[in-house]
Structure 1
Amino acid sequence: MINKKIIVVGAGPAGMMAAITAAQHSNHVILIEKNATIGKKLSITGGGRCNITNNSSPEEIMKNIITNHKFLYKSLHSFTSKQVMELLETNGCPIKIEEKEKVFPLSEKSADVIKVFEKLLAEHRVKVYFECQLKDIFVEDDRIVGIETNHHNKLECDALILATGGVSYPITGSTGEGHNICEKLGHKIIPLKPSLISMTIEEKWLTEMTGIALRDIVIKTKINKKSLNFYGDLLFTHYGISGPAVFELSSYLNKVDLPKEGHEIFVDLLPQIAQDKLKELFLSADISNKQVSTLLIECFPKRFVADLLNEFNLSNTIKFNQLNKKDRNRLMETIKNFKITVLGLRNIQHAIVTSGGISVKEVNPSTMESKIIKDLYFAGELLDVDALTGGYNLQIAFSTGYIAGSNSVGEDE
């Protein structure tokens, strides 16, 4: 064991992994947490089901990282998703793999994942200080020497790992103090923006369909002249749109300034049917005497069909052979290119993750150590890294936590 005192700030996924890893090499690891329990944000991940990681190679995971994926190469290869799964299973939390290689605890309870970390923290004798909030960091000769908390004037340490998270879901304790303190110490903070978040829209009639979901659609749009497609489900809410496809779109849309008139997106409601095949279907004699609504209800929610026809000033009982050419073409075009005008992203406090953070140009990607202050390390959402949905952001947290923890005690894996 190395006689080196390590302090980790933040008992989220990144901080817990950092503390457990550091404690494998040092008997003096302290984990401070502002909440009364560990893993508070982890407890609400995936609606409590906890999409813990993704059963993919580091290379595949990197393809799903939106910001600074190359920076994470060493981290993701040092502690892989396979190792996360093994860690859980060998410590009493069996897992299962669902569509798109998403990994969940078999019980679908985030509490079971948290129990694993509680067990490991205890086994490695990590001292956990609850309801303990970081107030300041002490630096001498460009080297970390300690911290101030609401309970301690000074806690001395040989190395400090910051894993204080972003600013999304502040109720979980992520309120941005890590960014504020690091900025005072000279670190550049890339502006914080919401990512994986729902959106407000212009079309009021769509917001009246709260709770209605469109399954397996494709959102098409252009961002900075680049054509992008996003696959998944779309959910209508009282303020606009949400759902997996919308969340992924937000990871790109947050990089640009939206015009005042809004940003147009187009939804392919039936991506499995090509436009020419849809036209053949609409002109087919087999359905000519069939009500339009009857056919559409086979594909879409009844409420959506009724409101869509109403928006077109078409009767809910109109038949295909009663449609004029203009209405028929308009209906086909809408099914393949349903226009929605995005007015903006919701407030960052509602975001699943925070985009932006400590500039990775000032962090050593092989160790997670600050290039400005010796023995200061970073992990997780505090950094300017973010990914799509699917367990990728949690894997980033575990991987960066692992590499920060191992290097904080001088162990370079």
Structure 2
Amino acid sequence: MRKVVVIGAGAAGMIAASVAADRGLDVTLIEKNQRVGRKLLITGKGRCNITNNCEIEELIENVNKNGKFLYSAFYTFTNTDVIDMFETLGVKTKTERGKRVFPDSDKAIDVVKALEKQVKSKKVKIVLNSKVIDIVSKNNKIEKVILNDKSEIKCDSVIVATGGVSYPLTGSTGDGYKFAKSQGHTVTDIKPSLIGMEVQEKFVCELEKLSLRNVSISVLNSKNKKVYDDFGEMEFTKVGIDGPIIKSASCRMKDTTKDNYKVIVDLKPALDEEKLDKRIQKDFKKYTNKKFENALDDLFPKKLIPIIIRLSEIDPDTVVHQISREERKNLVHLIKNFTFNIKRYRPIDEAIITSGGVKVNEINSSTMESKLVQGLFFAGEVIDVDAYTGGFNLQIAFSTAYLAGLNC
């Protein structure tokens, strides 16, 4: 009987192990943590956005890097297949805004338990608290893996499903990159993706924990060329900006040490400048005898008002009916162009995913097998593919893992 070792019991590892075991193979799933699915537990803020209920072509369009490599994977194990699998496992799902699919319970633990139950039902041997330190091949063919206690497991195939280097406390510490390099593979530059950003504007600390909904952003590079725009929700941290649209923007941005990026926030995207000016005039008429600092409650959250006043350079004690047309126009411009100069990304260990990984032209896209070493397979985040927020990255994990399990 063919023996398969799967390294990493996350989303990709558990699917790969289940599919391989379904084929009657002898499968061992090795996890360095004391439990499976640790990273899954914190995805989607603990709700676990398992996939996106869109067309397959749209899945590919939402892959920021090397999307075409995933054609076979996405068409072999589709997003519909993922939803059906979880429904069969007793996890009812729901589709929310942006076609994002979540468990009905809003609990990631239900997803983890379902995958764990599936793995155990297939008689997969699960080895916890154990770390693979080396993969051994001979004549470009997989021979065995060596564990941290010096024990060895002889096998015909190894599936590397170790994740990237984001959230290292969950076990994603870049082991897969080391394994790949040791077998002659190229690993592209690793950088954080889907991550918050630190900004130069010091006032941002006053906005910490403020969330803004229904705003739009434009990201400009140092040549003032737009590299990304989006609409949705963002939030402020003690040192910068974060939230879904900011995380998605980070996918389109390159090295922040080499390019000076700006993120321009339109606080009122539903109104053009002319309509916004009329709206402000209406508010100013309502509060005509009040001070400027007391006339913005209908426009902004309380936490944002002092910042807007400061940046507008209008004296907060000015009575509203004394504000000039030019001052009002400047206020309109500020609201439509609330600008942040990006200093750097947050540390990579805070990233939702890692951009970069095992070079795709060294992997067979139809099987996920290495083109260099027979019996070596890759699945999930360890591969040089990453996507925007919305369930796309977990779909990549599930689909690539399915192919690896099917062909190992």
Same fold (TM over 0.5): yes
The answer for the alignment partner of 2:251 in structure 1 is: 251
For structure 2, the residue ranges without an aligned partner over 5 or more in a row are none
What does residue 266 of structure 1 align with?
264
Contact residue 287 and residue 295 of structure 2 kept, 8 A:
no
Q: Does 1:350 align with 2:376?
A: no
Alignment check: 8 A CA contact 1:96 1:103 kept? yes
Contact 1:288 / 1:319 at 8 angstroms: preserved in 2? no
**Which residues in structure 2 correspond to 1:124-139 (within 5 Å)?**
124-139=122-137
Instruction: Pick which of 394-403 and 286-295 moved more.
Output: 286-295
Which residue identity is paired with 1:265?
V
Measured after TM superposition, the shift of residue 213 of structure 1 is 1.6
Secondary structure at the residue paired with 2:165? coil
Change (3 A) 1:306 1:92: same
- Compute the displacement of 1:140 (Å): 0.7
Q: Does the 8 A contact of 2:53 with 2:99 survive in 1?
A: yes
Helix, strand or coil for the counterpart of 2:303? helix
* Stretches of structure 1 lacking an aligned partner (at least 5 in a row): 409-413
Q: Deviations over 1:135-169 (max 9, x none)?
A: 11111111111110113532111111000100000
Distance in 1 (CA, whole Å) between partners of 2:73 and 2:340 is 39
Query: Of 57, 60, 63, which residue of structure 2 is paired with 1:62?
Result: 60
What is the match of residue 411 of structure 1?
none
Q: Kindly tell me: are residues 214 and 183 of structure 1, through their superposed partners in 2, closer, same or farther at Cα, counting changes over 3 Å?
A: same
Task: In structure 2, give the amino acid aligned to 1:328.
Answer: R
- Distance, in Å, in 2 between the alignment partners of 1:390 and 1:43 is 16
- Equivalent position of 2:166 in the other structure: 168
Tell me the alpha carbon deviations over residues 253-299 of structure 1, each in whole angstroms, 9 at most, x when there is no partner. 1x244447x42221111101111211233345855727555664323
**SS of aligned partner of 2:271:** coil
- Paired with 1:250 and 1:319, the residues of 2 have a C-alpha distance of 42
Give, in angstroms, the shift of residue 123 of structure 1.
Answer: 1.0
The within-5 A match list for 1:89-128 is 89-128=87-126
1:376 and 2:376 correspond: yes
Partner of 2:288: 289
In structure 2, relative to structure 1, the CA distance for the partners of 1:311 and 1:275 (3 Å cut) is closer
User: How far off its partner does 1:40 sit?
Assistant: 0.5
Give the aligned partner of residue 213 of structure 1.
211
Distance 1:7 1:290 in 2: 75
Q: Is the 8 A contact 1:381 1:397 kept in 2?
A: yes
Provide the residue aligned with 2:33 in structure 1: 35
Q: Which moved more, 1:219-228 or 1:303-312?
A: 219-228
SS of residue paired to 1:189: coil
Following superposition, the deviation at residue 184 of structure 1 comes to 2.2
- What corresponds to 1:396 in structure 2? 396
* CA gap 1:97/1:241 in 2 versus in 1, 3 angstroms: same
> How far apart are the structure 2 equivalents of 1:73 and 1:319?
62
Provide, for residues 297-326 of structure 1, a one-character-per-residue CA deviation record: whole Å limited to 9, x for no partner: 323211101232134343446454321233
Aligned pair count reads 404
Cα distance in structure 2, aligned partners of 1:123 and 1:152: 29
Amino acid at match of 2:305: V
Structure 1 vs Structure 2 CA RMSD: 1.8
Distance 1:202 1:127, change over 3 A: same
Q: 1:30 & 1:21 partners in 2: Cα distance?
A: 12
Q: Is the 8 A contact 2:228 2:252 kept in 1?
A: no
- Aligned partners of 1:51 and 1:293: how far apart in 2? 41
